[in-house]
Amino acid sequence: MELHILEHSLKVASIEKEGIQICTHGLIKLAFLASKTRCKFFSLTETPEDYTIIVDEEGFKELPQSDLISVADATWLALNVVSGGGNASSSQPIGVTKIAKSVIAPLADHNISVFMLSTYQTDFILVRERDLPMVMHTLSSEFTLLRVVNGETVAAHDLGVTNGFVKPKLVPRPVIHPLSSPGNMFCVTSLDPDTLPSVATLLMDVMFYSGGSKEVGASGEDSSHIRFFSFSLIEGYISLVMDEQTAQRFPNNVLFTSASGELWKMVRIGGQPLGFDECGIVAQIAEPLATADIPAYYISTFKFDHALEAEVLVHRWDRSADFLPPSTIGPFCVLYRRSGS
């Protein structure tokens, strides 16, 4: 398999909910008027806490300077696993669980933090630019390493991280984070960029104006629903993640959906903001799913992580993981990460 190191230098930022108004003009330009910018990589995800934006340096210029925008203190690069050659965007996606043992776990074992973005088309593994030499050294035995330069895929140069390299001992990493599962069911979908103008008004309302507010007297089930919506426009490909109620607002035959109308259950990882330095958070979720050969999507945001998988997985975790007593953790389940193989 090939590991493509994309040419985009990325920023990861958080926009506070009250700051979205001052950013709306730039975000609309990035999402709906991409031809007017030089941006090639743009993703916006709304959670109950904030908006997370992942954008290349050209796109970041479209946002205003504000105290309501927090930027992670690093430049990030996107990695993409490609099977069978070709370019990353046109090949079949591998899936986050398929790369758990070959990419995610080895990087965690080498104390390399990752930031995940699953889309309808593929999975992007974001690593800090300063970690790239160690990333390449760690993964060179499993992958053909290629870099994208000016749109062309070329062999990645050996960055020479060999002196003093010590193979890590595979010992348990005690990564413990609370898990919660909202009541919504979600779909991961896409649409043809040519149809974007026809649904632009609806998308703008969903992204910036509807706010996911609940009516007075909402049922107990609805009260467990959360606000989550993700829009990505990466190298001309659109990806959307939304709950089934939001998807029903779109006209028929606009969204790409499977014949089975597949829906996904979400698990949110983290009781407090996770930060960017801890390693193994993605691995603690992806490795058990990979072992069970269960597909999943994974979206990291500025404060928390989000895994989307079949609803049965939520119950399987209850049977297979070690848990703290319910009286200790309230409504959350706590999963202990075990060492990878």
Q: What is the DSSP string of 54-116?
A: EEEHHHHTTSPP-TTEEE-SS-EEEEEEESSSS-TTTSPP--TTTTIIIIIHHHHHTT--EEE
User: Which whole-number Å values give the CA distances from 306 to 116, 136, 173, 197, in the listed order?
Assistant: 9, 26, 20, 29
| CB contact burial 239-270 (16+ within 10 A = b; e otherwise) | bbbbbeebbeebeeebbeeeeeeebbbbbbbb
Q: What is the DSSP string of 155-198?
A: EPPP--TTTT--PPP------EEEEE--S-EEEEEB--GGGGGG
Residue 321 lies in a domain: no
Amino acid at 299: I
pLDDT value, residue 206: 95
β-bridge pairing 229-234 and 296-300: unpaired
Residue 269 lies in a domain: yes
Indicate the burial class of 75 (C-beta count within 10 angstroms; 0-12, 13-18, 19 or more): middle
- Give a three-class secondary structure readout of 28-50: HHHHHCHHHCCCCEEEEEECCCE
Residue 327 lies in a domain: no
Number of helices (H), then strands (E), in the chain: 9, 17
pLDDT value, residue 180: 92
Helix orientation angle between 311-320 and 281-291, rounded to the nearest 10 degrees: 100
Q: Are 284 and 320 in contact (CB under 8 A)?
A: no
Which residues span the domain enclosing 309?
Answer: 1-211+224-313
Residue 322 lies in a domain: no
Bridge partners for 15 per DSSP: 51, 69
Residue 164 lies in a domain: yes
Task: Give the number of domains in the chain.
Answer: 1
pLDDT value, residue 19: 94
Residue 76 lies in a domain: yes
Cβ within 8 Å of residue 109, ≥6 positions away: 168, 170, 340
pLDDT value, residue 44: 98
> In which residue ranges of the chain is pLDDT below 70?
84-95, 158-175, 211-223, 258-261, 310-341
Phi and psi (nearest 5°) for 52?
Answer: -105, 130
Domain CATH code at residue 66: 3.30.2130.10
pLDDT value, residue 21: 92
User: Which whole-number Å values give the CA distances from 335 to 174, 280, 294, 295, in the listed order?
Assistant: 10, 12, 18, 19
Residue 103 lies in a domain: yes
| CB contact burial 154-170 (16+ within 10 A = b; e otherwise) | eebeeeeeeeeeeeeee
pTM: 0.85
Residue 217 lies in a domain: no
